[in-house]
Structures are given as C-alpha cells and as structure tokens.
Chain A
Amino acid sequence: MSEFVYLFRATQAAQHEAMGTPERAQKSMQAWLAWIRDLEAKGHLKEPGQPLAGEGKVVRGKSRSVTDGPYAEAKDLVLGFIVIEARDLAEAAELSKGCPMLEGGGSVEIRPVAKLPA
C-alpha cells in the first residue's frame, strides 16, 4: 500500500453553489461525511487531513515579500487535503471519483507521497 495526498480544489463560484444556503451547505456536508466515512470504513483513510479557510498570505522569494492570497492569482482554490492509502496511483484515482466536490465542478489532485532519497 502507498500513501497519496488528495488536494481538493474548486472555484469560488462552485463553492458558493455548494455552500451558498444553509440547506445546500447541509446537503453538501452530509455527502462529504458519507464519502469520508466510506473511505475510513474501507481502510483507505490514512490521515483525515483538514479543510483550509479561504483567506491567507503568501510569502515569496528571497525578499520575503508578503502578499494576500492565494486567491489573487488562483482561479481555483485549494480547499483542503486528506491522505489516503491505496495500492497504486490508479486505485487512488479511482477512489477519488466518489468525492462529492466533483459534482459541483471541483477537482481532486492526486499526488503520491514522495520518498526522498536518504
């Protein structure tokens, strides 16, 4: 088994669509809960991760310049991450297809955890 990080992304419009009213937010959260619960039940949830808030800062380069962000440049935001366990990248990709964020036009980026050389 190998570890993979799921990075969830969505545009602000898609986020608004999913969470804009209390009813829609509740429905989205329930779908999310069901999906995570399923991953956990099947032994794929390695780390439950965390969602990320929209605001933040970016510190860049030698000059340590600080800008508000990351949304200034990005058309879709990273909404958070989880770490899963799967046989291989293909299985990890297959598992991600159940992610409810995909319904609203979001994306899941699947990245194997790199094993850095000793």
Chain B
Amino acid sequence: MKLDDQLFRRESGRIVSALTRIFGVHNLGLAEDVVQDAFCRAVELWKERGIPENPSAWLMATAKNRAIDRVRRERRARRFAPEVGRLLDTEWTLSPLIDEAFDAHTIRDAELRMMFSCCDPALSEDAQLALILNILCGFRANEIAGAFLTARSAIEKRISRAKKQLAQCQNLFDLGTAEFESRLSTVRRALYLLFNEGYHGASAESAVRVELCDQALRLTLLLGEYPPAATPSTHALAALMCLDAARLPARIDSAGELSALVDQDRSRWNARLLAEGLALLERSAAGEAVSPYHVEAAIAAVHASARTIEETDWRSIVSLYDRLMTIQPSPVVALNRGIAIGQCEGAERGLKELRAIADRDRLANYPFYPAALGELELRLGHFEAARKHFGAALGLARNGTEQRFLEKRLRSCAAPIKAE
C-alpha cells in the first residue's frame, strides 16, 4: 500500500466524523466530498513538492479550509446538524466552530459517535460492517467487496441504503442517552465480526485480512479509551483481538499460505501484542459478568501461552469451550470444542463430538467442518475417509489460499497409499 492509501485509511474516518458532527448525518456526503477533495489536493501538491513533514496535520488544515469554503457557498441551501444550531450560518462562529471540530478531543468523540451511529440496530450486521469500513476505515466499495467476496455493485447498494437509514437521525449518536448501553453491545458485536472477517474470513489476500484485523483492533482500543465504554466486556474483546492478532503472522506463512496451528512457527507470534492482550485480559476480570468475549479471550490466552502445540493445555480449552457453549452456543463453537476434545481425549472421541453437533447442517458450507473430520480420520489412519472429507472441504473452499491448504491436506492422505 502506498503512503497516500495508508494516510487516507488513517485520516479519512477521523475527518469525516469530525465534519459530520457539525454538518449533520444527512450531510455525510458533503463531509466525504470535503475529505476527498482535500486528499486530491494533497496528492497533487505532494507530487510536485514532496510529502510534508506532518502529512496528517497538513491534510487536516486543508480539510478545514475546504470545509469553510463549502459551508460559505452552501449554507443558504442546507441545514446543518441540529446540535450546532445556526453557528455555521454566521461568520461570527463559522471558523471557530470548524477549529473546535478538529480539536483532538472533539475528533475522538466524533469518531466514537460515528461508530455508534453506524451500528444502528435497524441495519443488518452486514450493513453495519460495510458502513464502519467505508466511513471509519476509509475502505472504498471495491475494497469492501474484495474483503467480503461480494459483488461491488451489491456493496455499493448496501452502503447507500444504509447511509439513507443513518440520515434519518440528523445528529450523530448521542453518547449520553439511555440507549448507550444497548448500542455499546451492538458496537462490540460489529467490531468482533469485523475482526473475525479478517481472521477467518473469505478474502484471499492476506494484506486485506491483516488490515481488517488492525482496523477492528484500533476501533476497539478507541472504545476502551472512552470511560463509559471501557467495561470489562470491551477489555475482553480487545484482549481477544490482541491475542489472536498476535498469532496472525504465523497463521499465514511466509509464502502467504494458511498454516494449521500444529505447523505454525510460534517464533513469528507478535510478542508485543501478546503482552498487551494478556494485560487487557487481566483488566477485563474487574467485573462479575463473564461475556463470550471473556471466554474466547481466555481460550486465545491458553493457546498463546503454550510454547509448543504439545504444551497446550487442551483440558482448560475444552472446559472453556464448555462454558462458551452454555453462554453462547453455536455450531462453530461446538466444532472448535470437538477439535479440542480430539486433542486431549483422542481422535475417536473428537469424531464422536463432531458428528453429534446439534445444528451441523448450519456448517454445510463451512470448509473447516469436513476438514476437521478429515484431520481426525487421518490421525486414526482412516485414509479413505480422510480423503473423502478433505475432498468435500476442498469443494467448499472460498478462495485460493483455502484451496491450496486443503489440497495439501488431501495429498497428505494419499502419501501412505503410494508407499504401499
């Protein structure tokens, strides 16, 4: 990614949020125009004169000036955010108001409020994720389409419909309302899904996936900096992301291929993120409540504290999955629990668990269900059965990376037969 793109990713969400706070959500398009415009100017100028010492500050100053110009030109025809009243309508307050909007504290608040606005419960989770990526993370429609393996036109439609829904409320979400608590859990859920999309998702490009994980973590940490949102569940979610993200470099090997937990080069785990995750997990233990994020973070912590796969405390992992099954049962949780049982009680027991998963028809399109069956059959020396399962998994692969991974597994079932 070029510097421009990185800068755009980092700054556009902050500036769009800052401007939307005062322009009003119904003028989100105007805020986006201003950012786009400021960015085009920057790129043009920097081509000639080189990149300035502090490109973020430069971009923000340009966006401020562009915002003032646009407001002057359009204030007769527009109504801005009800919460700023008519303060944009007069030169008395126009420029101090824009200045204030770009104050570090105000930007952070605006970004949080935008996050809460994007998680409007009237929107589907898919739409919430698309909005977060588009508005707060500066992803363009084609990039979101790439991340979700969806047609670009479908994403464009999803985003524009969702923005219409957002515009019904002209002010950004008010963090002081009674709805804060319930919206906070929707926000966490969306960030969790965003992270998972990066970690387990369908996109073939590892750079895209790392980027999704990074963005989800960035926004979760932002949430954790705001005291009313800094609850044990939020810390647990951040811990989970850190502990998983720490292992991401090893999950995708140096050739860009998926690597099973058994084969991972643990020296490639990110020590800083591991430490941060463990510290966050400790902070998350402050309250009484145990959220699914707590349990998932605890599982990640068990994995992360084992130096080798053999050292992994599978028994703890199984009991954590048991707990997760009682507070948030799902076929994927059951699948992971079955795999863990296979690790500590043998492949036979693992297979029994996997075959008994209650809603396993919901895993019908998930390649890692047949892949897990194949793994356990292989361990029992049932090459024929293993081959059949890996073959089924291969048929469900969602991208080239998964395909190559499963082909490799399939070849490993064939090897002993050749040897005969």
> Are A36 and B100 in contact, CB atoms less than 8 angstroms apart?
no
- In the bound assembly, the distance between CA atoms of A26 and B102 in angstroms comes to 13
CB contacts under 8 Å to A, within B91-116, are 91-93, 95-97, 99-100
B90 on the A face (CB < 8 A): yes
Give the residues in chain B near A80, CB-CB below 8 Å.
92
Closest to B90 in A: A48
Closest to A48 in B: B90
- In the bound assembly, the distance between CA atoms of A82 and B91 in angstroms comes to 11
How many whole Å from B203's CB to the nearest CB in chain A? Answer: 45
B86 on the A face (CB < 8 A): yes
Give the residues in chain B near A29, CB-CB below 8 Å.
95-96, 99
How many whole Å from B171's CB to the nearest CB in chain A? Answer: 14
Give the residues in chain A near B100, CB-CB below 8 Å.
30, 33
> B-facing mask of A38-49, CB < 8 A → 1, else 0?
001100010011
How many whole Å from A40's CB to the nearest CB in chain B? Answer: 4
Chain A interface residue count, Cβ-Cβ cutoff 8 angstroms = 16
Q: Which of B90, B92, B93 has the most CB of A within 10 A?
A: B92
How many whole Å from B153's CB to the nearest CB in chain A? Answer: 44
- In the bound assembly, the distance between CA atoms of A58 and B100 in angstroms comes to 36
Give the residues in chain B near A33, CB-CB below 8 Å.
87, 93, 96-97, 100
Instruction: Return the contact of A40 from the options B85, B91, B96 (Cβ within 8 A).
Output: B85
Give the residues in chain A near B90, CB-CB below 8 Å.
48-50, 82
> Are B89 and A30 in contact, CB atoms less than 8 angstroms apart?
no
CB contacts under 8 Å to A, within B72-97, are 85-87, 89-93, 95-97
- In the bound assembly, the distance between CA atoms of A15 and B75 in angstroms comes to 28
> Are B89 and A48 in contact, CB atoms less than 8 angstroms apart?
yes
Give the residues in chain B near A20, CB-CB below 8 Å.
none
- In the bound assembly, the distance between CA atoms of A34 and B318 in angstroms comes to 58
> Are A45 and B99 in contact, CB atoms less than 8 angstroms apart?
no
A37 on the B face (CB < 8 A): yes
- In the bound assembly, the distance between CA atoms of A50 and B100 in angstroms comes to 19
Known: A45-B85, A48-B87. A82 touches B96 (CB 8 A): no
Known: A26-B99, A30-B100, A33-B97. A51 touches B87 (CB 8 A): no
> Are A49 and B92 in contact, CB atoms less than 8 angstroms apart?
yes
Known: A29-B99, A30-B100. A51 touches B85 (CB 8 A): no
Does more than half of chain A's interface fall in helix, strand or loop, or is it mixed? helix
How many whole Å from B213's CB to the nearest CB in chain A? Answer: 39
Instruction: Return the contact of B86 from the options A26, A48, A51 (Cβ within 8 A).
Output: A48
Task: Say which size band chain B's interface belongs to.
Answer: 10 to 19
> B-facing mask of A58-88, CB < 8 A → 1, else 0?
0000000000000000000000101000000
> A-facing mask of B193-219, CB < 8 A → 1, else 0?
000000000000000000000000000
Give the residues in chain B near A40, CB-CB below 8 Å.
85-87
How many whole Å from B69's CB to the nearest CB in chain A? Answer: 17
Give the residues in chain B near A32, CB-CB below 8 Å.
92-93, 96
- In the bound assembly, the distance between CA atoms of A90 and B56 in angstroms comes to 49
How many whole Å from B406's CB to the nearest CB in chain A? Answer: 61
- In the bound assembly, the distance between CA atoms of A50 and B94 in angstroms comes to 10
- In the bound assembly, the distance between CA atoms of A26 and B99 in angstroms comes to 9
Closest to A29 in B: B96
Closest to A26 in B: B99
Closest to A25 in B: B96
> Are B92 and A48 in contact, CB atoms less than 8 angstroms apart?
yes
Instruction: Return the contact of A36 from the options B87, B95, B99 (Cβ within 8 A).
Output: B87
- In the bound assembly, the distance between CA atoms of A51 and B96 in angstroms comes to 13
Closest to A33 in B: B96
Give the residues in chain A near B96, CB-CB below 8 Å.
29-30, 32-33
- In the bound assembly, the distance between CA atoms of A29 and B86 in angstroms comes to 16
How many whole Å from B266's CB to the nearest CB in chain A? Answer: 52
How many whole Å from A109's CB to the nearest CB in chain B? Answer: 17
> Are B87 and A50 in contact, CB atoms less than 8 angstroms apart?
no
Instruction: Return the contact of A82 from the options B85, B92, B99 (Cβ within 8 A).
Output: B92
CB contacts under 8 Å to A, within B124-156, are none
Give the residues in chain A near B87, CB-CB below 8 Å.
33, 36-37, 40, 48
- In the bound assembly, the distance between CA atoms of A41 and B97 in angstroms comes to 15
- In the bound assembly, the distance between CA atoms of A80 and B92 in angstroms comes to 9
Q: Which of B96, B99, B100 has the most CB of A within 10 A?
A: B96
CB contacts under 8 Å to A, within B367-386, are none
**Can you offer 16 A-B residue contacts whose CB atoms are under 8 A?**
A29-B96, A33-B87, A33-B93, A36-B87, A37-B85, A37-B87, A40-B87, A41-B85, A48-B89, A48-B92, A48-B93, A49-B92, A50-B90, A51-B91, A80-B92, A82-B90
Residues of A bordering B, CB below 8 Å: 26, 29-30, 32-33, 36-37, 40-41, 45, 48-51, 80, 82
Known: A48-B86, A82-B92. 10 other contacts (CB 8 A): A29-B95, A29-B96, A30-B96, A32-B92, A33-B97, A36-B87, A45-B86, A48-B90, A50-B91, A82-B90
